[in-house]
Amino acid sequence: MTTLLQVKELRVYYRTRRGVVRAVDGVSFEVNEGETLAIIGESGSGKSSTVQALIRMFPRNVHLVSGQVLYRGVDLLSLPESVFNREYRWKKISIVFQSAMNVLNPVMRVRDHVSELIQIHTRLSARDGLKMAEELLPKLGLPPSVLNRYPHELSGGMKQRVVILLALLLRPELLILDEPTSALDVITQANIMNLLKRLKWDYKISMIFVTHDIALASDIGDKIAVMYGGQLMEIGDADTILREPRHPYTRFLLESTPRLRGEVKLTFIPGTPPDLVNPPPGCRFAPRCPYASDKCRSEEPPMKNGVKCWLYV
Ligand SMILES: Nc1ncnc2c1ncn2[C@@H]1O[C@H](COP(=O)(O)OP(=O)(O)OP(=O)(O)O)[C@@H](O)[C@H]1O
Ligand SMILES: [Mg+2]
């Protein structure tokens, strides 16, 4: 299997009045060609900050970015902005944002969005862009007439398909989706998930799928990465993570998710997520972990064989 993306010790810190927020704090993972990595974790665990860094989207108050994002061996973080824009953004890597449906400009028809994207990012004509869009429409279950519609004329599910269409227009190798279905009803969500699985199959596209929903993660992910307090706690094959979760946090997450099979047993994780301005020393999950020892509370565990926990060192 060829490695497409290799993220090494990624750190993204933000400046705030309260101090420096360590939103992403030493995250490493790989994505192979054609593979889907699902990133799961509670709200505020650093999922969006991680994936936005992959396409070099940083808010104005970013304080520090370090580590490497190697795309076929090239470190995207150290490329000049112009080169990244010209060669990578939308062409090789594209992203569907968390509030994706609101990114469509209400006064522009879908076709205007297509031509704008083509004109900003390529030297192709608007007409070429529309042709490319037309080829993708059936794959996305969209009728050709959608091109002439304004966003307010589309349902939530249609809007989300249009946003995915725009993300796929330049045929990227890596599609990042940040909670793409969280604003949709369950049926529409299921339709979009089926669509993504088909795209993955048809185009052998690699994906990073961010969600806080472990059911969605296991539905689409070949691999699952579990984030907590700005760090990866566990990463591995989806099946293995689901069947034999090792990290206590992963086990809690799984237990707190209603299963399709078996009865529903909800476990609430006691305590609160760490303050990322003053994260606890040692393991970030230690204050909430029933197995924590003194060592856990003082020394940060290494990530070893896909799990960052002193129980497995
Ligand atoms: N621009 C910013 N300035 C300061 N802090 C930020 C900024 N963006 C995010 N944060 C903080 O960084 C941490 C990680 O946020 P992030 O949005 O990456 O988490 P997330 O896992 O995507 O959460 P959610 O599931 O709610 O989308 C949180 O503590 C958040 O409050
Ligand atoms: Mg987020």
Cα-based distances in Å from 268 to 46, 149, 291? 21, 45, 16
Answer yes or no: is the C-beta of 224 below 6 A from any ligand 1 atom.
Answer: no
> Given this model, what pLDDT does residue 266 score?
56
Q: Whose CA is nearest to atom 12 of ligand 1?
A: 23
- Average pLDDT in the 278-305 region? 96
What does CATH list as the number for 3-92+172-312? 3.40.50.300
Cα-based distances in Å from 183 to 95, 129, 220? 17, 28, 18
Task: Among 61-65, 261-265, 283-287, name the one with the lowest average pLDDT.
Answer: 261-265
pLDDT digits (tens, 9 = 90+) for 179-212: 998 888 888 889 899 999 999 988 899 999 999 8
- What is d(CA 233, CA 278) in angstroms, rounded to the nearest whole number? 18
Per the CB < 8 A criterion, the answer to whether 96 and 176 are in contact is yes
The mean of the pLDDT values for the chain is: 93
- What is d(CA 206, CA 177) in angstroms, rounded to the nearest whole number? 11
Residue 59 Cα: closest atom of ligand 1? 1
- Average pLDDT in the 225-250 region? 97
Ligand at shortest distance from the CA of 63: 1
Answer yes or no: is the C-beta of 278 below 6 A from any ligand 1 atom.
Answer: no
Answer yes or no: is the C-beta of 49 below 6 A from any ligand 1 atom.
Answer: yes
- What is d(CA 33, CA 88) in angstroms, rounded to the nearest whole number? 16
Residue list, CB under 5 A from ion ligand 2: 48
Ligand 2 midpoint to CA 44 (Å) = 7
- Residue entry with tokens 């529903």: 264
pLDDT confidence bin for 19, thresholds 50/70/90: very high
pLDDT confidence bin for 63, thresholds 50/70/90: very high
> Given this model, what pLDDT does residue 267 score?
63
Ligand 2 midpoint to CA 172 (Å) = 22
State both tokens at 35. Answer: 């593979």
Ligand 2 midpoint to CA 134 (Å) = 31
Q: In this structure, is the dihedral angle defined by the CA atoms of residues 181, 183, 186 and 187, taken in order, positive or negative? A: negative
Task: Among 37-46, 87-96, 183-192, 236-245, name the one with the lowest average pLDDT.
Answer: 183-192
Answer yes or no: is the C-beta of 94 below 6 A from any ligand 1 atom.
Answer: no
Task: Locate the domains of the chain by residue range.
Answer: 3-92+172-312, 106-171
Answer yes or no: is the C-beta of 276 below 6 A from any ligand 1 atom.
Answer: yes
> Given this model, what pLDDT does residue 1 score?
84
Pocket test for ligand 1, best of 24, 25, 48 (most atoms within 8 A of CB): 48
**199-225: b (≥16 Cβ within 10 Å) or e:** bbeebebbbbbbbbebebbbbbbbbbb
Q: Where are the extended beta strands (E) located within 72-163?
A: 74-75, 93-96
> Given this model, what pLDDT does residue 98 score?
81
pLDDT digits (tens, 9 = 90+) for 247-277: 999 999 888 776 555 555 556 778 889 999 9
Percent of the chain with pLDDT over 70: 96
| CA 282, chain centre distance (Å) | 26
Percent of the chain with pLDDT over 90: 81
Cα angle 188, 190, 192; round to 5:
70
Answer yes or no: is the C-beta of 211 below 6 A from any ligand 1 atom.
Answer: no
| CA 160, chain centre distance (Å) | 16
**pLDDT(21) > 70:** yes
